[in-house]
Amino acid sequence: MQADWRIFSILGIPLYIDSSWLLILVFVTIINANNLSAGQLSDINSVTSWIAGFIMAIVLFISVVFHELGHSLVARNQGIKVNSISLFLFGGVANIEGESKTPEEALQVAIAGPIVSILFFVAFSLVKLLFLSASLWHFLIQDLAKINLFLAVFNLIPSLPLDGGQILKAIIWKITGDRNLGILWAAKAGKIIGCLGIFLGIILVIFSGEIGGIWISCIGYFIVQNDCECQELVEVEKYLLNSIAKDIMNREFEIINAKLNLKDFAELYVFETANDLPCLAAVDGCDRDSIVKENLQLIAPDLRSDCSLSHLILPIAEKHLVEEKTSLIEIIKKLETIDNRCIVVISGVGTVAGTIDRVDIVRAIASQHNIFISEAEIDKVKQENTYPDRLQISAIAEGITY
């Protein structure tokens, strides 16, 4: 996820905080201040309670950072790049670029965070013995231990992207030899747990008036949403692996005589047409030249009658051509390395069979898996030559080797 503020780096890894995490800071401060006032330390004044509550919230922040740092350092030791650590409403995430090569390595990355939290729990549990049980320091350190134990236990829930889900994924991957099957099992388990969390939270609110039930339901909803996205990404990856150019290419394109003047071309194919079909130029019987419509703006309108279409023609290099049987993964990788917006697909007899651009790829995936893609997202794909972030198409393709 993309967080709002970069605050510092730790061991060379940038640390970001999302604005939503400020809600946790306030929430934890209030809860701890109230606990101090109502608990064994009821004799302390309100100012001290609030200061101590804020300190506990900051310690939660530090505990989450070290938890995610555990994942990050193990991943980096495996040669995987760690882009950053981000904190947001429901905790933290290590933004790791890539996947462990084996299930054993994936398991090591997954368990590193809970191990760090458990070590902190043990350390703070021992340190609290140095202080009187009725003292403020004993109370604070005891809470530090509880926070880290909670982090470890909560993250071991078998749901993606939590550590428990990653552990389950690695185990299924090891047993079956199929990483995607591991993700699917973890995602299904997570959706069940998330639904139970939503239901439990609602029950608590209705029958006991426990406001904390709202938070449990929110976490359950977050878990369900993330597991649905993980399952969706697995389906996208399977589709990309099993598709070829012929399956998704756009068969609607224009072949235009290169002798046509620019004035007529503009009227017929730029201003008057309601579609945005790819245009190819026929030059001496060859239709392997693309027409760059954008360059029309470089020629003054009063000069267009005397200029032929050849002013907009750009010969298609071999690196911009693919055969109908070319894998979709290869096409996605090729689009990342060329300047052209689209790839031209050549038939078995050497003629143009169709074209493929990023919009074609996004629409094919959306149609295959009933994923809603808004027109705003499609426009962004056209204008910026990027894919919707939630589909992670470039990352999936980059991670697949033959």
Report pLDDT digits (tens) over 177-220.
888 888 888 888 888 988 998 998 888 888 887 776 787 888 88
Most confident of 6-20, 130-144, 327-341: 327-341
Query: Residue 108 has what pLDDT?
Result: 93
Label each residue of 170-200 as H, E or C. HHHHHHHCCHHHHHHHHHHHHHHHHHHHHHH
Q: What is the CATH number of the domain that holds 271?
A: 3.10.580.10
Report whether pLDDT(162) > 90: no
Do 277 and 228 have their domain in common?
no
Domain check: are 176 and 256 in the same one? no
CB 6 within 8 A of CB 15: yes
pLDDT digits (tens, 9 = 90+) for 351-401: 778 888 888 999 998 888 788 888 888 888 888 888 887 777 877 777 665
Last residue of a domain, one of 186, 217, 240: 240
Band the pLDDT of 2: cuts 50, 70, 90.
very low
d(CA 67, CA 169): 19
* Rg of the Cα atoms in the chain: 28
Determine the average pLDDT of the residues in 88-109: 80
Please state the pTM of the whole predicted model: 0.65
12 and 113 fall within a common domain: yes
Asked whether residue 225 falls in the same domain as residue 191, the answer is yes
Q: How confident is the model at residue 122 (pLDDT cuts 50, 70, 90)?
A: very high
Statement to judge: residues 211 and 108 lie in one domain: yes
280 and 290 Cβ atoms separated by less than 8 Å:
yes
Claim to verify: residue 17 and residue 122 sit in the same structural domain: yes
User: Among positive and negative, which fits the CA dihedral 207, 210, 212, 215?
Assistant: positive
Which of these three, 206, 240, 274, is where a domain ends? 240
Angstrom distance (rounded) from CA 125 to CA 181: 39
Q: How far is CA 31 from the centre of its chain?
A: 32
What pLDDT score does 381 carry?
A: 84
As a whole number, mean pLDDT of residues 301-309 equals 75
Kindly state whether residues 35 and 150 are assigned to the same domain.
yes
**Domain co-membership, 275 together with 356:** yes
What integer pLDDT is reported at residue 317 of this predicted model? 62
Strands (E), 191-318: 254-257, 279-283, 286-291, 313-315
Least confident residue range of 26-30, 75-79, 243-247: 26-30
Q: Which of the listed residues 178, 213, 240 is the one where a domain comes to its end?
A: 240
**Tokens 């954008």 map to which residue?**
294
d(CA 34, CA 235): 47
pLDDT digits over 308-341, tens only?
Answer: 776 676 666 666 788 899 999 888 888 888 776 7
Is the domain of 280 the same as that of 231? no
Check whether residue 361 and residue 281 sit in a common domain. Answer: yes
Which one of 68, 105, 232, 237 is the catalytic residue? 68
| Average of per-residue pLDDT across 148-154 | 88
Domain count, the chain: 2
- Whether 68 is catalytic is yes
Give residue 170's domain range: 5-240
160 and 304 belong to one structural domain: no
Q: How far, in Å, CA of 104 to CA of 124, rounded? A: 30
Pair (358, 282) in one structural domain: yes
Checking if the pLDDT of 273 tops 60, the result is no
